[in-house]
Structure 1
Amino acid sequence: MDNSLQSLDQVRASALDMAVRFGPKLLVAVIILGIGYMVGRWVGRFLEHLLVRLNLEAPVRSLLVRVARVLVLGLFAIMALQNLGIELLPLIAGLGVAGAGVALAMQGILGNVAAGLTIIFTRPFHVGDYISIVKEEGEILEISLFSTTLGHTDKSRVVIPNRKIVGEILHNCGQIRQLDIAVGVSYGTDVDVALSLVEEILHANPRVLREPAPVIGVARLAESSVTLRVSPWVNVSGYEAAVGELNKTILETFRARDIAIAFPQREVRMLGSSA
């Protein structure tokens, strides 16, 4: 019984000694972490206002703000550990070795992150733009650190890793696209009348934009027809519908005005032979 009481007294004495020795340091470490949390929030708010001025997308702003807060809190955590007397050099060396191994195992992911940051800060395209790249095209639906998502008119989605985008030739149409409709009329057609009708059709269609002005003219002189070029501008969302509407209206209008839409034809002459 006396031995048990003696052991309990020793434990109490040791605990009291550790509290006296490390209690103030632990309190200071907690205070440092609290200050780091507050500074991280302030840095996050400041960075948020800065990124809003740079017109970055909301998901990207949120991610960068979180990263900044974590970095600030990590810096103050290191200060707190140093205050407790913990040796950081062996810990940092170990983390460095582990980090190198992780980096080798995650080359593809890290490559996507680096490419994502490049896209975020260089801004070659924005959400809502229509782009063509790496044999894919579509409307930008989402930009993240790891990938970029394109939307097609058939409601499907294409997810492209960011490392496949950076360094490639990019065709960015913005938020409008130009149609390229070719109409072949016979050589006997009054071209001025046909072009005037096309201009009226474009003006009546609500999907066709007034600015930029549509491009209308004679594209080429083919074997069996005069090819008219009809190239108005429309919003990305109305591209497919506008193609169908304009083709249908042009066909009906030309039929009503007796303008023949040419088709491939050949003239064959039979030469008689004398007996």
Structure 2
Amino acid sequence: MQETMNHVSATLTSLKTTLVEFAVRYGFQILGASVIVLVGFKTAGYLTRMLDTWLEKKTTIDVALRSLIVRLLRFVVVGATIVIAAEKIGVPVASLIAGLGVAGVGIGLAMQGVLSNLIAGMTIFFLKPFRVGEYIDVLKEHGEVVDITLFSTTLRHTDQSLIVIPNRQIAGEILHNYGTKRQLDIEIGIAYASDIGKAIDVATETVLADPRVLKEPAPLIGVRKVGDSALTVSVRPWVPVPEYEQTLLGLYRAIFEAYRECGVDVPHPQREIRVIHAETGAARAALGAPVVKVN
């Protein structure tokens, strides 16, 4: 028992001696490295906030590119901080960087898809085929652009669902950019006996009375189709992208109620059927032709 306790005591003494020697040899280096890391991260946050504020107030670059520049600055400052701190505690940084370079070749081969997204993201940032807030149609998907990162682009449908598309799928594809406004396509049928000029004037007044409708470009309103039982009045105003769905629903109701109030008839679908005279039917039967009966 005494021998075991002596062994434990010797072990603790040796461990204490080792810790003291480590603290004496590396303590100031670890303390210095910790201070460097703390100051570096604080500096990175301060510089990125300053740069973001300056870019927002003094330049006209879009939000996505501004965010990219700010992130790159933070990455550079934090990376430099880590390298300096590693050198402070005696890590062979040159050998470490060389090893990371060799490992990077294998990592690059394994992450070809990620790198493709990165390159495509840089292309989108600098060529600007679309911006945040614009409405686009690409790869049979459409929506308002709400976020652009180095790796993906996020669209929002009118039902508020989000679509995340890898940037490599967008680069090189045919893209339809509506910009920040969209054109509504409203069709309402009126009776043939209705006053066409009055119907167009009423629709125009109703559309222009809606504050969500843009005055420029001017709405396109006129007769678009001649149907079986009605003339189709086409109403095509432009509205801001966020107002598209609500304005579409609101104008359908407003135009229909305006037509009802001013006496423009909005007919139900109808079909005219002519019944052949009975004698004519008998004559056809005598000639061997089939007789069609209408109930």
Deviation at 1:50, TM superposition (A): 7.0
Matched, 1:106 2:111: yes
2:257 aligned to which of 252, 260, 268: 252
Distance 1:255 1:151 in 2: 36
Distance 2:107 2:50 in 1: 32
2:175 aligned to which of 156, 170, 183: 170
Matched, 1:267 2:272: yes
Matched, 1:61 2:69: yes
Tell me the secondary structure at the aligned position of residue 131 of structure 1. strand
Deviation at 1:118, TM superposition (A): 1.0
Distance 1:253 1:233 in 2: 20
Counterparts of 1:56-95 in structure 2, within 5 Å, are: 56-57=62-63, 58-69=66-77, 88=94, 94-95=99-100
Deviation at 1:231, TM superposition (A): 0.5
**What whole-Å deviation, never above 9, does each CA across 1:190-241 have from its counterpart, x for those lacking one?**
1111000001101211111111111111212233322211011111111111
1:179 aligned to which of 155, 179, 184: 184
| Matched AA of 1:173 | Y
1:236 aligned to which of 227, 235, 241: 241
Larger Rg: 1 or 2? 2
Q: Could you say if the C-alpha distance between residues 125 and 243 of structure 1 is closer, same or farther in structure 2, counting changes exceeding 3 Å?
A: same
Matched, 1:212 2:184: no
| Matched AA of 1:192 | G
Counterparts of 1:133-172 in structure 2, within 5 Å, are: 133-172=138-177
Question: What is the TM-score when the length of structure 2 is the normalising length?
Answer: 0.69
**What whole-Å deviation, never above 9, does each CA across 1:103-148 have from its counterpart, x for those lacking one?**
1111111111111111111111221111111121111111111111
Contact 2:55 2:61 in 1 (8 A): no
Question: What is the TM-score when the length of structure 1 is the normalising length?
Answer: 0.73
Distance 2:177 2:139 in 1: 13
Q: Residue in 1 aligned with 2:10?
A: none
Distance 1:173 1:148 in 2: 16
Distance 2:216 2:249 in 1: 21
Distance 2:236 2:93 in 1: 70
Q: Residue in 1 aligned with 2:207?
A: 202
Q: Which runs of 5+ in 2 are unaligned?
A: 1-28, 283-295
Taking only the aligned residue pairs, the percentage that are identical comes to: 45
Distance 1:119 1:181 in 2: 34
Q: Residue in 2 aligned with 1:7?
A: none
Contact 2:137 2:175 in 1 (8 A): yes
Contact 1:44 1:68 in 2 (8 A): no
Tell me the secondary structure at the aligned position of residue 224 of structure 1. coil
Q: Which runs of 5+ in 1 are unaligned?
A: 1-25
Distance 1:180 1:61 in 2: 40
**What whole-Å deviation, never above 9, does each CA across 1:33-59 have from its counterpart, x for those lacking one?**
9xxx8xx98x97998667963513142
Instruction: Provide the alpha-carbon RMSD of the alignment.
Output: 3.6
Counterparts of 1:119-130 in structure 2, within 5 Å, are: 119-130=124-135
**What whole-Å deviation, never above 9, does each CA across 1:169-201 have from its counterpart, x for those lacking one?**
111112211101111212222111100000110
2:193 aligned to which of 172, 176, 188: 188
Q: Could you say if the C-alpha distance between residues 182 and 110 of structure 1 is closer, same or farther in structure 2, counting changes exceeding 3 Å?
A: same
| Matched AA of 1:249 | A
Contact 2:51 2:70 in 1 (8 A): no
Q: Could you say if the C-alpha distance between residues 65 and 247 of structure 1 is closer, same or farther in structure 2, counting changes exceeding 3 Å?
A: same
